[in-house]
Amino acid sequence: MLKFFATCPKGLESLLNNELIELGAESVKETVAGVAFSGDLQLAVKVCLWTRFATRVLLTLGTFHADSDIEFYNGAYSLHYEDYFSNDATISVDFNGQNSFINNTLYGALRIKDALCDRFVKLTDARPDVDRENPDVRINAHLDRRNNVTVSLDLSGKSLHRREYRNVAGAAPLKENLAAAIVARSGYTGGTVIDPMCGSGTILIEAAMKACNMAPGLFRTAYGFEKLKGFDAAAFNAMKREASATAEEGRRRLKDAKVVFHGFDRDESVIEKAVQNAERAGLSDLIKFSVGDLHDLKNPVTSGNPGMVITNPPYGERLGNVPELLELYTAIGACLKREFGGWKAG
């Protein structure tokens, strides 16, 4: 049984915890900004494909205590990297933490890299090359306040919030896993959704993906686990085919039920980006985007059951000052009261 740690933004831990249990993880334990769990490599691959909330999935190689630089090096040297990848793989090391003998992250990463490469030279007479931009294997190392070091393999590759359907976005775009969390926290379980300030459409796309049971990682072109020993490419391809069939069945079900997702934004250029993103996600037949201002927005759904209004109002970079904020929330309330009686809001 392998040990893993899935990272996530703070506040999403309980959502990720429940998701991992549903995906079949064992020994699930929620902590700050992540959830620990156990399973085999195939389970971790499944998590990478299906998680809506995780940022990264890390496979723990080992943990050691180090009170000096030499103890740090020896601890890193003792880990069995060769069990997971070969000396012809390219690597990069991400390190965080500092103490009296590691005063910056670059030095910590360098010492991990040196120990790893020295071990490969000792065992195989060759060492992995470093590729900081596009490595085959990413090593993650964390030094805590008690001088305990955890070294892991990053199975994700690029951050898992990057679904790769969104090549374009507006100012201060909402990350996909945060959008998925907004949808989950709203209590949405299915049916029509309207976002009156949709921006580049991320909330609606995540809601539609949830409604048709589409795996969030279905459009990603690469993962960090693909160059590891023990990775079963045939099994992963079969997993993706099954996920694709599940999503297609879900799309047909929503179309038969005449479920439509509607997004509005006053910025025409942002709406154009939203349309492109929905097309890349394979959901353009379910999501309709229109240019429209909140103040004179009309509910496009005139029959059938009430749905949900889910939105992420502008803030920070996307909003000016406090009076503007008050005006915005007043307009939101007026719009909901005027056009969406009987609907739920999240």
Task: Compute the average pLDDT of residues 144-160.
Answer: 97
pTM, to two decimals: 0.94
Dihedral angle computed from the Cα positions of residues 276, 303, 254 and 161, in that order, rounded to the nearest 10 degrees = 50
What is the rounded radius of gyration, in angstroms, for the C-alpha atoms of the chain?
23
Q: How high is the pLDDT of residue 44?
A: 99
Instruction: Decide if pLDDT at 156 tops 70.
Output: yes
**Tokens at residue 226, please?**
């693909």
pLDDT at 317 over 90: no
What confidence tens digit (pLDDT) does each residue in 41-79 have? 999 999 999 999 999 999 999 999 999 999 999 999 999
DSSP track, 161-212: T--SS-S---SSPPPHHHHHHHHHHTT--SS-EEETT-TTSHHHHHHHHHHT
pLDDT digit string, tens, across residues 101-125? 999 999 999 999 999 999 999 999 9
| pLDDT for position 281 | 97
pLDDT at residue 43, as a whole number: 98
Q: What's the whole-number average pLDDT of the chain?
A: 95
Share of the chain above pLDDT 90, in %: 88
**Domains in the chain, ordered, with CATH?**
2-154 (3.30.2130.30), 176-214+258-345 (3.40.50.150)
pLDDT in tens, 185-195: 999 999 999 99
Dump pLDDT digits (tens) for 188-217: 999 999 999 999 999 999 999 999 999 999
Q: What are 251-293's pLDDT values in tens digits?
A: 999 999 999 999 999 999 999 999 999 999 999 999 999 999 9
Distance between CA atoms of 196 and 291, rounded to whole angstroms?
10
Has residue 328 got a pLDDT over 90?
no
Distances (CA, A) of 288 to 74, 93, 153, 260, 271: 58, 43, 40, 7, 10
Look at 40 and 329; give whichever has higher pLDDT.
40
Is residue 330 within a helix (H) or strand (E), and if so which, with residue range?
A: helix 322-339
168 or 141, greater pLDDT: 141
Indicate whether 239 pLDDT > 60: yes
Task: Decide if pLDDT at 324 tops 60.
Answer: yes
